[in-house]
Amino acid sequence: MSRDFTLKKYTELLQSLKAGGYRFLTFEQYCLEKEFLDTVKFIILRHDVDLKAENSLATAKIEHSLEIKASYYFRVVEQSNKSEIIREIAEMGHEIGYHYEDMTICGGNADRAVEHFEKQLAYFRQFYPVKTICMHGAPRSKYDGRDLWKRYDYHDFGIIGEPYFDVDFSRVFYLTDTGRRWDGFNVSLRDKVPVYQDEWVQQGLVFHRTDEVIDAIENEKLPKQLMMTTHPQRWTDHVVEWHKEKAMQSTKNMVKGLMVRLNCFF
């Protein structure tokens, strides 16, 4: 069995989805077309660029070679916000979005947070006419970024979609590599849609390794409409970096699993 979470394995996953007849959508495309997608077999391909922006450039190049467009959500922190990389990914035709965490940055002050949000949104619009956003889970923060929209409305900033508000997950299956596994919802604090998780588990829609996802695609067991979220920092062919990421994520999963059981945040 080949190593998981390599660029080679990611390429195999994309090729399997293409062969399976899935139409690839950016999240922006989905928001604009969702009224006409009832019978369409599609995948919304989303990437959360938490760290190691260089890895995102690698996945973007693979997708570009396969004529696939995806959505890349960048944080404002240095490990994610690399202007040259953002520009190059945008020039390939991929969507750029803001991976916002303004409530955490501003200590829970919504007024300061919305000002920070507007400023950062203007920054990312230098590279792409940003129309969608996605919250950063920030597991070590007690603040949920989505709480900003209890007081403000992101539509007022020209935003047409935020996945956790604008995707009907009763129809669109959610698959994410959070925790460096495809069944990481048990150790995830925010990157999940728990209202439908039990139903998916009952249907047997639980995968651990990428090969299991590929097998489900090839045997037509994967739902016909889904959003797939990856964190490109996890995907590398560099042996040392691969082992470092695996070790670090294993430790994080143990800590997050404890936090989930205790229902607490740092």
CATH number of the domain enclosing 131: 3.20.20
**92 within a domain of the structure (yes/no):** yes
Q: Would residue 183 count as lying in a domain?
A: yes
Strand-pair partners of 164: none
Positive or negative: CA dihedral 88, 91, 97, 102: positive
Q: Report the pLDDT value the prediction gives residue 113, as an integer from 0 to 100.
A: 98
* Phi–psi pair at 177, nearest 5 degrees: -90, 20
The pLDDT of residue 266: 45
Total domains in the chain come to 1
pTM of the predicted model as reported, rounded to 2 decimal places? 0.92
Low pLDDT (below 50) residues in the chain: 265-266
DSSP H/E element including 166: helix 163-166
According to the model, what pLDDT value does residue 194 have?
A: 63
Identify the burial level of 53 via C-beta atoms within 10 angstroms of its C-beta, where 0-12 means exposed, 13-18 middle and 19 or more buried: buried
Mean pLDDT (the chain, rounded):
92
Q: What is the pLDDT of residue 117?
A: 98
Domain for residue 2, yes or no? no
Neighbouring residues of 63: CB distance < 8 A, sequence distance ≥ 6:
14, 45, 69, 70, 92, 94
Give the range of the structural domain holding residue 255, as residue numbers without chain letter.
Answer: 7-262
53: in domain: yes
> Which two three-digit tokens encode residue 194?
């728990």
Q: Which residues contact 6 (CB under 8 A, 6 or more apart)?
A: 235, 236, 237, 242
| Of the candidates 122, 248, 140, the residue with the CA atom closest to the CA atom of residue 189 | 140
Q: Are 40 and 23 in contact (CB under 8 A)?
A: yes
Secondary structure (3-state) at 140: coil
Instruction: Express each pLDDT in 152-164 by its tens digit.
Output: 999 999 999 999 9
Residue located via tokens 């969608």: 132
Q: Is residue 1 part of a domain?
A: no
pLDDT of residue 137: 83
In a domain, 105, yes or no: yes
Take residue 208 and report the two structure tokens written for it.
């651990």
Would you call 190 exposed, middle or buried from its count of C-beta atoms within 10 A (0-12, 13-18, 19+)?
middle
Gyration radius from the chain CA atoms: 18
Name the pairing type of β-strands 173-176 and 133-135: unpaired
Do the domain assignments include residue 230? yes
| H-run or E-run covering 257 | helix 239-262
pLDDT at residue number 12? 98
